[in-house]
Structure 1
Amino acid sequence: MKLLFTICGRAGSKGIKNKNAENFIDKPLALYTLSVIDLYLKKSSYSADIVVNTDSEELIEIFNNNSLRPVDIIERTPELAGDNVAKIDVIQNCLEVMEERNGNYDLVIDLDITSPLRTVKDLDAMIEKKLTTDYELIFSVTDARRNPYFNMVMKTQYGYDRVIRSNFNTRQEAPEIYDMNASIYVYSREFLHRKVGLFEGKCGIHKMFDTGVLDLDHENDLFLMEVIAKYLFENNEEFGEVYHNI
């Protein structure tokens, strides 16, 4: 089994300035992603390569000088660095370039830089689920705190109404809804080579710790995630090992 781990990050940011190259607590944010990969591979019998796809000189320097594992670098081309480029296009580019260098891979695992709170157990479970099911891709989720069938509303020409009209009177009656938390994606190479949209394949999910990931759009989001992280690192061994491994 041959795995390709992809880490994708652009230079700059419209929310938190240059967030991919920021420090998180007292360590580079980007190295939390590399740390969980390193810990997984220490326990795994699979062969693997790690590639960073970026147009950020700061990120390249962080990864080139890391003490965890060597990584390949793909310097992102301008056509893949725009605001409207889908991340899956960048991951497909990673696979194409790395297969030219090293031959075919069996699975591609993408881990988002701005989701530092994940565990080796999450990563292992998702890879094994992909290997033991017929899903073409598996992505991480959390339980949704709101439900469009019950307590989410939108503006209409008649005022405000449920996002999805229903007669459900309690949350328990409504269908289970999950938030995609953009932390981990596991793809088959065949799916990526088809170059189709994310939901054009057969999708599976893995549910993660529900407060472990926040969208980092503003400075206060980073502060709040650091508060959560300090608690988890001190009180949860599985989260703590990722921090202490850096």
Structure 2
Amino acid sequence: MTFNSKLVLALIPGRGGSKGVKRKNLRVVLGKPLIEHTIQAASDSLNIDRIFVSSDDTEILELARENGVDAIKRASMAASDSATAVEVVYDFLKQIPEDLIVADPYIIYLQPTSPLRKAAHINAAFDVMISSRNDICISVTKLKKTPFKSYTLSVEGLLEPIFDEAMTNANRQSLPEVYCPNGAIYIFSLAKFLEHGAFPSNGGVPYIMSERDSVDIDTEEDLILLEKLCLKN
């Protein structure tokens, strides 16, 4: 199904290595490999035409095929510890058919470290973006602590407010609410990505997710937190 007259391509990045949790994307979480939760969410979405898993790992690529989605062997330069998400997208663009590029599709980037992001979240994010007549949407969660009261340290080791000093003395209730990307959903048109040479964000619409659904798996402690959250519900 095309969405708003554009194709929608889901890109799921699934590197074989990981610093915080060994073989993280294949780690069994809530009954199945971590990456499979995201493949399932994308497959169940009403808005996605094709799903691609990009990986340097043979086992992950085979798991993608078993789940009926396209598997793309990622170049080694885009699979290193220092490789960025932008490099992953560029590597993806080099490997998909030219007719998909020409169609200027929406790309939805779905990191497998967000196992509680479901198809319903994806559908709602698209609805928010299109109803706002925008072509950028990023999932965010509200920060508990305001950064307006934060400091850096000077060369001399002294406190320096990040923002105007008046904000560090303001009542928290008088300061603007602040939201942070939670890594679960990034949607943008291919044209916007190529224009920016990066994930576009300024001027995009937010899709606000709860703190619970925003859990991001990076460490063993995150896995423990996830299990605790799911036991409560």
TM-score range relative to shorter protein: 0.7 to 0.9
Q: Would the aligned equivalents of 1:213 and 1:225 in 2 still touch at CA under 8 Å?
A: no
Taking the TM superposition and a 5 Å limit, the aligned residue runs for 1:73-222 are: 73-100=71-98, 102=100, 104-150=103-149, 152-156=150-154, 157=156, 159-168=158-167, 169-194=170-195, 196-199=197-200, 202-222=203-223
Inter-CA distance 183–147: structure 2 relative to 1 (3 Å threshold): same
Q: Is the 8 A contact 1:3 1:105 kept in 2?
A: no
Deviation above 6 Å: which 4+ runs of structure 1?
Answer: none
Q: Which amino acid aligns with 1:188?
A: S
Are the equivalent residues in 2 in contact too, given 1:130–1:136 (CA < 8 A)? Answer: yes
Q: Structure 1 pair 53/173, CA: closer, same or farther in 2 (3 Å)?
A: same
C-alpha change, 1:128 and 1:96, in structure 2 (3 Å) is farther
Partner-residue secondary structure (3-state), 2:60: helix
Unaligned 5+ segments in structure 1 are 236-246
Deviations 1:147-202 (A, max 9, x none): 1112x333233533443233242221112211210001111121123352334753
Q: In the alignment, is the contact (CA less than 8 A) between 2:56 and 2:75 conserved in 1? A: yes
Cα displacement (A) at 1:27:
1.1
Corresponding residue of 1:71: 69
Q: Which of 23, 30, 34 lines up with 2:28 in the alignment?
A: 23
2:104/2:191 contact within 8 Å kept? no
User: Partners of 1:98 and 1:149 in 2: how far apart?
Assistant: 43
The TM-score normalised by the length of structure 1 is 0.81
Cα contact 1:3–1:47 (8 A) shared by 2: yes
Q: Deviations over 1:27-77 (max 9, x none)?
A: 11111111112222xxx3x560110100012211222223xxx11111000
Identity of aligned residues (%): 27
SS of the residue 2:218 aligns to: coil
Query: 1:57 and 1:201, CA in 2 relative to 1: closer, same or farther beyond 3 A?
Result: same
Residues 149, 166 of structure 1: 8 Å contact kept: no
Asked whether the 8 Å contact 1:139–1:184 carries over to 2, the reply is yes
Unaligned runs of 5+ in 2: none
The aligned length equals 224
RMSD over aligned Cα, in angstroms?
2.2
Give the drift of 1:224: 1.0
Contact 2:139 2:183 in 1 (8 A): yes
Looking at structure 2, the residues matched to 10 and 187 of structure 1 have their Cα atoms a distance apart, in angstroms, of 22
TM-score normalised by structure 2 residue count: 0.85
Cα 1:121/1:217, change in 2 over 3 Å: closer
